[in-house]
Amino acid sequence: MSKRTSKAGTSGRLGARYGVVVRNRIKSIEAHQKEKHECPTCHHMSVKRVSAGIWECHRCGTKFAAEAYSPRTRKASAAEAAAAAAAARAAAKEADAAPAPKAEAAEQ
Ligand SMILES: [Zn+2]
């Protein structure tokens, strides 16, 4: 098999254009987009993207709307964001509980 896009992956079609950061970003997004994802109904790894925001399970036929490049639903995204915010709050509380030793360590 040709090794032409072994490093660039799907962003190889862009050639040398648009800059390496943009091409790497596209590569990672498209790799996730083109993966098979878990079905929210039958839990098989058979969900593929139909078009932007439309996902379909090839096993049970469930068709649903989600993010353009990821089949996560808004509910799941919101739950993840809430969990992250709660974790950040817990970390901030711990930092407030013991600020003095950290400040001393920074000065030395
Ligand atoms: Zn399914």
For the chain, the structural domain boundaries read 73-108
Alpha-carbon span 53 to 60, nearest angstrom:
19
Residue 107 Cα to ligand 1 midpoint, Å, equals: 57
**Rounded to an integer, what distance in angstroms lies between the CA atom of residue 17 and that of residue 26?**
12
Cα–Cα dist 52/19, whole Å? 24
Q: Find the 12 Cα to ligand 1 centroid distance in Å.
A: 32
> Near ion ligand 1, which residues have CB within 5 Å?
39, 41-42, 57, 59-60, 62
Residue 107 pLDDT: 53
Q: How far is the CA of 43 from the centre of ligand 1 (A)?
A: 6
Nearest to 41 by CA among 56, 26, 31: 56
Three-class SS of 41-107: CCCCEEEEEEECCEEEECCCCCEEECCCCCCCCHHHHHHHHHHHHHHHHHHHHHHHHCHHHHHHHHH
Q: What six digits make up the tokens of 71?
A: 């089949």
pLDDT in 10s for each residue of the chain, 108 residues: 567 778 888 999 999 999 999 999 999 999 999 999 999 999 999 999 999 999 999 999 999 999 999 998 777 778 888 899 999 999 998 888 766 555 555 555
Residues in the chain: 108
User: Residue 44: its pLDDT value, please?
Assistant: 94
- Give dist(CA 25, CA 46) in Å, integer: 24
What pLDDT is attached to residue 102?
Answer: 55
Compute the distance from residue 46 Cα to the ligand 1 centre, in Å: 7
